Homo-oligomer: A and B are copies of this chain.
Protein backbone atom coordinates (compact mmCIF):
# COMPACT_ATOMS: atom_id res chain seq x y z
CA UNK A 1 0.00 0.00 0.00
CA UNK A 2 2.11 2.90 -1.27
CA UNK A 3 0.52 6.23 -2.24
CA UNK A 4 -3.18 7.00 -2.01
CA UNK A 5 -5.27 8.90 -4.51
CA UNK A 6 -7.36 11.66 -2.98
CA UNK A 7 -10.53 9.65 -3.56
CA UNK A 8 -9.03 6.66 -1.75
CA UNK A 9 -8.17 8.91 1.18
CA UNK A 10 -11.71 10.27 1.24
CA UNK A 11 -13.01 6.72 1.15
CA UNK A 12 -10.99 5.70 4.20
CA UNK A 13 -11.82 8.76 6.26
CA UNK A 14 -15.51 8.59 5.39
CA UNK A 15 -15.61 5.12 6.94
CA UNK A 16 -15.35 6.81 10.33
CA UNK A 17 -18.75 6.35 11.92
CA UNK A 18 -18.69 9.77 13.44
CA UNK A 19 -17.41 11.81 10.54
CA UNK A 20 -19.36 10.07 7.81
CA UNK A 21 -22.46 12.16 8.44
CA UNK A 22 -20.53 15.16 7.22
CA UNK A 23 -21.23 16.45 3.75
CA UNK A 24 -19.09 14.42 1.34
CA UNK A 25 -17.90 17.50 -0.46
CA UNK A 26 -16.78 19.15 2.80
CA UNK A 27 -14.97 16.02 3.87
CA UNK A 28 -13.14 15.95 0.56
CA UNK A 29 -12.14 19.56 1.04
CA UNK A 30 -10.83 18.74 4.51
CA UNK A 31 -8.79 15.78 3.27
CA UNK A 32 -7.30 17.97 0.55
CA UNK A 33 -5.76 20.14 3.27
CA UNK A 34 -3.62 17.27 4.49
CA UNK A 35 -0.46 15.48 3.46
CA UNK A 36 0.14 11.74 3.54
CA UNK A 37 2.98 10.56 5.74
CA UNK A 38 4.46 7.12 6.20
CA UNK A 39 5.92 5.65 9.40
CA UNK A 40 7.92 2.49 9.98
CA UNK A 41 6.93 0.12 12.78
CA UNK A 42 7.95 1.76 16.03
CA UNK A 43 8.18 5.23 14.47
CA UNK A 44 7.34 8.06 16.83
CA UNK A 45 4.65 10.40 15.53
CA UNK A 46 4.77 12.74 18.49
CA UNK A 47 5.70 12.69 22.18
CA UNK A 48 3.71 13.70 25.20
CA UNK A 49 4.45 17.35 25.90
CA UNK A 50 5.11 18.33 22.28
CA UNK A 51 3.19 21.30 20.86
CA UNK A 52 0.05 20.03 19.14
CA UNK A 53 0.55 21.46 15.69
CA UNK A 54 -1.11 18.74 13.64
CA UNK A 55 -4.23 16.63 13.50
CA UNK A 56 -3.87 13.08 12.19
CA UNK A 57 -6.11 10.50 10.55
CA UNK A 58 -5.03 6.88 10.17
CA UNK A 59 -5.10 5.65 6.56
CA UNK A 60 -3.48 2.27 7.15
CA UNK A 61 -1.67 0.47 9.95
CA UNK A 62 -2.16 1.14 13.64
CA UNK A 63 -1.15 3.85 16.06
CA UNK A 64 -0.63 3.41 19.80
CA UNK A 65 -1.47 6.34 22.04
CA UNK A 66 0.78 6.06 25.05
CA UNK A 67 2.39 7.69 28.01
CA UNK A 68 5.75 7.03 29.64
CA UNK A 69 6.26 7.38 33.39
CA UNK A 70 9.18 9.13 35.08
CA UNK A 71 10.87 5.76 35.64
CA UNK A 72 10.35 4.60 32.06
CA UNK A 73 7.22 2.46 32.33
CA UNK A 74 4.86 2.57 29.39
CA UNK A 75 1.09 2.86 29.44
CA UNK A 76 -0.90 2.27 26.26
CA UNK A 77 -4.06 4.35 26.43
CA UNK A 78 -5.61 3.53 23.10
CA UNK A 79 -5.00 1.94 19.72
CA UNK A 80 -6.15 3.89 16.68
CA UNK A 81 -7.27 2.08 13.53
CA UNK A 82 -7.69 3.19 9.92
CA UNK A 83 -10.33 5.93 9.47
CA UNK A 84 -9.92 7.15 13.06
CA UNK A 85 -8.47 10.53 13.92
CA UNK A 86 -6.12 11.32 16.78
CA UNK A 87 -4.20 14.21 18.23
CA UNK A 88 -7.35 16.32 18.34
CA UNK A 89 -7.10 17.48 21.96
CA UNK A 90 -3.91 19.51 21.64
CA UNK A 91 -4.97 20.76 18.20
CA UNK A 92 -8.27 22.02 19.56
CA UNK A 93 -7.18 23.60 22.81
CA UNK A 94 -3.70 24.67 21.74
CA UNK A 95 -2.00 22.91 24.65
CA UNK A 96 0.69 20.28 24.79
CA UNK A 97 0.17 16.72 23.63
CA UNK A 98 -1.54 14.81 26.45
CA UNK A 99 0.10 11.58 25.32
CA UNK A 100 2.53 10.21 22.77
CA UNK A 101 1.72 8.48 19.48
CA UNK A 102 3.71 5.57 18.01
CA UNK A 103 3.21 3.57 14.84
CA UNK A 104 2.60 -0.04 15.93
CA UNK A 105 3.11 -1.27 12.37
CA UNK A 106 3.99 0.26 9.04
CA UNK A 107 1.45 3.06 9.05
CA UNK A 108 0.20 5.76 6.73
CA UNK A 109 -1.32 8.90 8.13
CA UNK A 110 -3.08 11.93 6.77
CA UNK A 111 -1.89 14.97 8.67
CA UNK A 112 -3.42 18.42 8.70
CA UNK A 113 -1.82 21.56 10.05
CA UNK A 114 -3.50 22.95 13.14
CA UNK A 115 -3.94 26.44 11.68
CA UNK A 116 -5.54 25.12 8.51
CA UNK A 117 -7.76 22.76 10.42
CA UNK A 118 -8.96 25.46 12.77
CA UNK A 119 -9.84 27.84 9.99
CA UNK A 120 -11.69 25.04 8.23
CA UNK A 121 -13.47 24.33 11.50
CA UNK A 122 -14.64 27.92 11.77
CA UNK A 123 -16.01 27.84 8.26
CA UNK A 124 -17.80 24.52 8.90
CA UNK A 125 -19.59 24.59 12.26
CA UNK A 126 -21.12 21.18 11.60
CA UNK A 127 -17.69 19.68 11.98
CA UNK A 128 -17.52 21.09 15.51
CA UNK A 129 -20.63 19.12 16.40
CA UNK A 130 -19.12 15.95 14.98
CA UNK A 131 -15.94 16.56 16.94
CA UNK A 132 -17.99 16.84 20.10
CA UNK A 133 -19.04 13.24 19.49
CA UNK A 134 -15.45 12.16 19.03
CA UNK A 135 -14.45 13.77 22.31
CA UNK A 136 -17.44 12.33 24.16
CA UNK A 137 -16.40 8.91 22.97
CA UNK A 138 -12.84 9.46 24.19
CA UNK A 139 -14.12 10.64 27.53
CA UNK A 140 -16.32 7.60 27.98
CA UNK A 141 -13.38 5.34 27.27
CA UNK A 142 -11.15 7.26 29.65
CA UNK A 143 -13.73 7.07 32.43
CA UNK A 144 -14.04 3.33 31.87
CA UNK A 145 -10.28 2.90 32.15
CA UNK A 146 -10.19 4.85 35.41
CA UNK A 147 -12.99 2.77 36.90
CA UNK A 148 -11.41 -0.49 35.80
CA UNK A 149 -7.97 0.29 37.17
CA UNK A 150 -9.39 1.43 40.50
CA UNK A 151 -12.07 -1.21 41.00
CA UNK A 152 -10.90 -4.36 39.26
CA UNK A 153 -8.02 -6.76 39.90
CA UNK A 154 -5.78 -7.84 37.07
CA UNK A 155 -7.57 -11.03 35.97
CA UNK A 156 -10.81 -9.08 35.63
CA UNK A 157 -9.15 -6.15 33.89
CA UNK A 158 -7.57 -8.61 31.49
CA UNK A 159 -10.86 -10.35 30.75
CA UNK A 160 -12.56 -7.02 30.14
CA UNK A 161 -9.81 -5.84 27.84
CA UNK A 162 -9.91 -9.02 25.85
CA UNK A 163 -13.62 -8.54 25.30
CA UNK A 164 -13.19 -4.96 24.14
CA UNK A 165 -10.28 -5.92 21.88
CA UNK A 166 -12.52 -8.62 20.49
CA UNK A 167 -15.25 -6.10 19.70
CA UNK A 168 -12.95 -3.65 17.97
CA UNK A 169 -10.47 -6.03 16.36
CA UNK A 170 -12.14 -9.44 16.28
CA UNK A 171 -12.81 -11.69 13.30
CA UNK A 172 -14.68 -14.98 13.56
CA UNK A 173 -12.61 -18.14 13.09
CA UNK A 174 -13.03 -21.87 13.68
CA UNK A 175 -12.41 -21.89 17.43
CA UNK A 176 -14.11 -18.58 18.22
CA UNK A 177 -13.17 -14.97 17.61
CA UNK A 178 -9.61 -14.12 16.69
CA UNK A 179 -8.10 -10.79 17.71
CA UNK A 180 -6.49 -9.55 14.54
CA UNK A 181 -3.87 -7.27 16.04
CA UNK A 182 -0.77 -8.98 17.35
CA UNK A 183 -0.08 -8.00 20.93
CA UNK A 184 2.72 -9.37 23.08
CA UNK A 185 1.92 -10.07 26.71
CA UNK A 186 4.08 -7.10 27.50
CA UNK A 187 1.91 -4.87 25.31
CA UNK A 188 -1.18 -6.19 27.06
CA UNK A 189 0.45 -5.40 30.36
CA UNK A 190 1.08 -1.87 29.19
CA UNK A 191 -2.58 -1.56 28.30
CA UNK A 192 -3.66 -2.75 31.74
CA UNK A 193 -1.08 -1.05 33.90
CA UNK A 194 0.29 -4.46 34.89
CA UNK A 195 3.50 -6.41 34.43
CA UNK A 196 4.07 -8.96 31.72
CA UNK A 197 4.33 -11.68 34.36
CA UNK A 198 0.94 -10.89 35.83
CA UNK A 199 -0.64 -10.84 32.39
CA UNK A 200 0.99 -14.18 31.63
CA UNK A 201 -0.50 -15.74 34.72
CA UNK A 202 -3.92 -14.31 33.90
CA UNK A 203 -3.80 -15.57 30.33
CA UNK A 204 -2.69 -19.03 31.41
CA UNK A 205 -5.58 -19.22 33.86
CA UNK A 206 -8.05 -18.20 31.14
CA UNK A 207 -6.52 -20.81 28.84
CA UNK A 208 -6.99 -23.52 31.48
CA UNK A 209 -10.64 -22.51 31.84
CA UNK A 210 -10.95 -22.83 28.06
CA UNK A 211 -12.13 -19.22 27.74
CA UNK A 212 -9.34 -18.27 25.36
CA UNK A 213 -6.59 -19.88 23.35
CA UNK A 214 -3.44 -18.85 21.52
CA UNK A 215 -2.71 -19.00 17.82
CA UNK A 216 0.86 -17.88 17.30
CA UNK A 217 0.88 -14.30 18.48
CA UNK A 218 -2.89 -13.99 18.17
CA UNK A 219 -5.36 -14.45 20.98
CA UNK A 220 -8.63 -16.23 20.31
CA UNK A 221 -11.67 -15.72 22.48
CA UNK A 222 -13.44 -19.09 22.66
CA UNK A 223 -16.07 -18.40 25.28
CA UNK A 224 -17.40 -14.88 25.70
CA UNK A 225 -19.81 -15.75 28.50
CA UNK A 226 -17.06 -17.27 30.60
CA UNK A 227 -15.13 -14.03 30.36
CA UNK A 228 -18.18 -11.96 31.22
CA UNK A 229 -18.96 -14.19 34.21
CA UNK A 230 -15.44 -13.77 35.51
CA UNK A 231 -15.68 -9.98 35.38
CA UNK A 232 -18.75 -9.60 37.58
CA UNK A 233 -18.28 -11.95 40.51
Q: How many residues of A contact B (CB 8 A)?
A: 38
A99 to B137, CA, bound (A): 14
Asked whether, in the complex, the Cβ of B69 is within 8 Å of the Cβ of A151, the reply is: yes
Least CB separation from A138: chain B residue: B139
CA A89 to CA B139, docked complex, whole Å? 8
Q: A132-B92, A149-B149 are in contact. Are A143 and B98 (CB under 8 A)?
A: yes
- Chain B residue with minimal CB distance to A194? B150
Binds B, one of A53-61, A121-129, A211-219: A121-129
A139, B98: Cβ atoms closer than 8 Å = yes
Any B CB within 8 A of the CB of A198 = no
A70 proximity list for chain B (CB < 8 A): 151, 232-233
A128 to B135, CA, bound (A): 12
Which residues of the partner chain B approach A99 to less than 8 Å between Cβ atoms? 143
Decide: A143 and B232 in contact? CB cutoff 8 A. no
Residue-wise interface mask of A (55-95) relative to B, using a CB-CB cutoff of 8 A (1 in contact, 0 not): 00000000000010111010101000000000001001101
A140 contacts which chain B residues (CB < 8 A)?
89, 93, 95, 98
Min distance, Cβ A96 to any Cβ of chain B, angstroms: 9
A139 to B98, CA, bound (A): 9
What separation, in Å, do the CA atoms of A38 and B135 have in the docked complex?
A: 30
Minimum CB–CB distance for A19 against chain B, Å: 14
A146 CA to B193 CA in the complex, in Å?
Answer: 9
Report chain B residues within 8 Å CB of A121. 129
Contacts of A122 in B (CB 8 A): 129
Q: Which of B73, B132, B149 contacts A128 (CB 8 A)?
A: B132
Most B-side CB within 10 Å, residue of A67, A73, A232: A67
A-B residue pairs in contact (CB < 8 Å), sample of 25: A67-B143, A67-B147, A71-B151, A73-B151, A75-B147, A77-B143, A89-B136, A89-B139, A89-B140, A92-B133, A93-B140, A95-B136, A98-B139, A98-B140, A98-B143, A125-B128, A125-B129, A128-B128, A128-B132, A131-B132, A132-B135, A135-B136, A139-B142, A142-B143, A149-B149
